[in-house]
Amino acid sequence: MELKITNIVAREVLDCRGNPTVQVDVVVNDEILGRADVPAGKSTGAHEAQEVRDGGKRFGGLGVQKAIAGVAEEIAPALRGRRVTDQRALDQALIALDGTPNKARLGANAILGVSLAAARAAAAALRVPLYKYINVNAHVLPVPLLNYINGGKHASNDLEFQEFCIFPVGAETFKEAMEIGWAVYEELRTIIIDKYGKIAANVGDEGGFAPPIVKVREALDNILLAVKRSGYEEKIVYGLDCAATHLYDPETGKYHLEGNLLSTDELLAFYKDLLKSYPIVTIEDPFSEDDVDGFVRATQELGIQIVGDDFFCTNPARIKERAALGAGNALLWKVNQIGTLSEALDAAELAYRHSFGVMVSERSGETEDPIISDLVVGINAGQIKTGAAVRGERTAKYNRLLQIEEELGSCGAYAGGNFKTPF
């Protein structure tokens, strides 16, 4: 039977910060439903695909009724009657209908909602889980990069780096990674309350604690102590997201850090020193989104995984250009940075062709939709970053991965061991 899109409906729902976002239903043959929510970033890159938001007073300008009107008035009429399993053709039609290079007219939020909901609807119509619809050989359960101390734009403290994470590469299964994660998180809660008082155990946007810390080393020392007390030291290495685009001062060309202004050279020296003290295996956005030289040097000189978030923006053109220069060796993969599923899949494929790692990522403004869990298994990426394993919009992703691990049974493989000697 032909699987045809018979209707597309978009609505305004709320993300975890309480801000409006787009939810889309794609209906196949008048009965099968695919639904997807669109997340939103806060520490965004300048080169991301553009959302459409309403402006004006309602929701402080963040409403998405214009984006939704675009789905009703333009996208739904254009896609009705088309085969839902033609993901690439559907995405190309969306890109052509929008007509701008960065999806600014109809909005990456509207377009991505339709693109993801179509994939969900197709998988539902074919009665396969989304990860299998994407890839018949999907089987890799990712190592979670658990974000336990929040700073930067995600917290109300003065810690400049955005994410301080544990990476339980030594777990045998994803389920065990969650058990380890719980033990460390609870130890860290106790340490933070003892040192900074109970108010310091409040959490930031991604569920990590947001204590009143300024120094990078102090944040790391607390996490290392928590890991030591948990008894899981042998199974855990560490990761950072410096989100350095937001530390960069364009006037001086330097980076704000701990009361100093650092050149690219000086910041690189800071990282080298950190690596002497801590078993950090992955650093995301160590330099700003257009500091290509910084990325090249970090990749050559630090000898660990250097992940580009704002730096690549999940954009195939940027990956092609910058990977060729040796800038970075891993892609942070955020579907809403590029705005359609097939372009995001192209970005991952390109990354693999350059022997890059791929880390699938949430946004700080998530909903309870766990679609990235199916996607990370679908592309066998082996790494996921979706905050601490607390708060419903984060646990939704981890819980979906627990289900997938159970579904895959002996066909599933936890990616952990692959990261014992990264790059």
The catalytic residues are: 206, 334
Work out which of 22, 26, 32, 43 binds ligand PGA, going by CB under 6 A: 43
* Residue nearest ligand PGA (C-beta atom): 41
Q: Name the maximum alpha-carbon separation found in the chain.
A: 65
- Give the neighbor-by-neighbor strand order of the sheet with 163-167: 143-144, 383-385, 357-361, 330-333, 305-308, 280-284, 237-241, 163-167, 146-150
139 near ligand PGA (CB under 6 A): no
309 near Zn ion (CB under 5 A): yes
Work out which of 21, 44, 342, 395 binds ligand PGA, going by CB under 6 A: 44
205 near Zn ion (CB under 5 A): no
Residues 290-309 that bind ligand PGA (CB under 6 A): 309
Taking alpha carbons only, the member of 335, 283, 325, 280 closest to residue 308 is 283
- x/- string (CB under 5 A) for Zn ion, residues 230-249? -----------x-x------
Residue closer to ligand PGA (CB basis): 108 or 138: 108
CA 286/CA 75 separation, integer angstroms: 39
Q: Tell me the number of residues near Zn ion by CB under 5 A.
A: 4
Q: Can you tell me which residue has the tokens 């954009």?
A: 315
Q: Which does 342 bind (CB under 5 to 8 A by kind): Zn ion, ligand PGA, none?
A: none
Q: Tell me the number of residues near ligand PGA by CB under 6 A.
A: 11
Q: Which does 42 bind (CB under 5 to 8 A by kind): Zn ion, ligand PGA, none?
A: ligand PGA
The CA distances from residue 31 to 6, 27, 156, in Å, are 9, 6, 46
CB of 241 to ligand PGA, least distance (A): 5
Q: Which does 361 bind (CB under 5 to 8 A by kind): ligand PGA, Zn ion, none?
A: ligand PGA
245 near ligand PGA (CB under 6 A): no
Q: Which does 363 bind (CB under 5 to 8 A by kind): ligand PGA, Zn ion, none?
A: ligand PGA
Residue closer to Zn ion (CB basis): 219 or 243: 243
147, 155 in Cβ contact below 8 A? no
Residue closer to ligand PGA (CB basis): 151 or 170: 151
Q: Which does 160 bind (CB under 5 to 8 A by kind): ligand PGA, Zn ion, none?
A: none
98 near ligand PGA (CB under 6 A): no
361 near ligand PGA (CB under 6 A): yes
Q: How far is CA 230 from the centre of its chain?
A: 27
CB contact set of 382 (below 8 Å; sequence gap of 6+): 140, 142, 143, 357, 358, 415, 418, 419
Contact residues toward ligand PGA (CB under 6 A) are 41-44, 162, 241, 243, 309, 361, 363-364
Contact residues toward Zn ion (CB under 5 A) are 241, 243, 284, 309
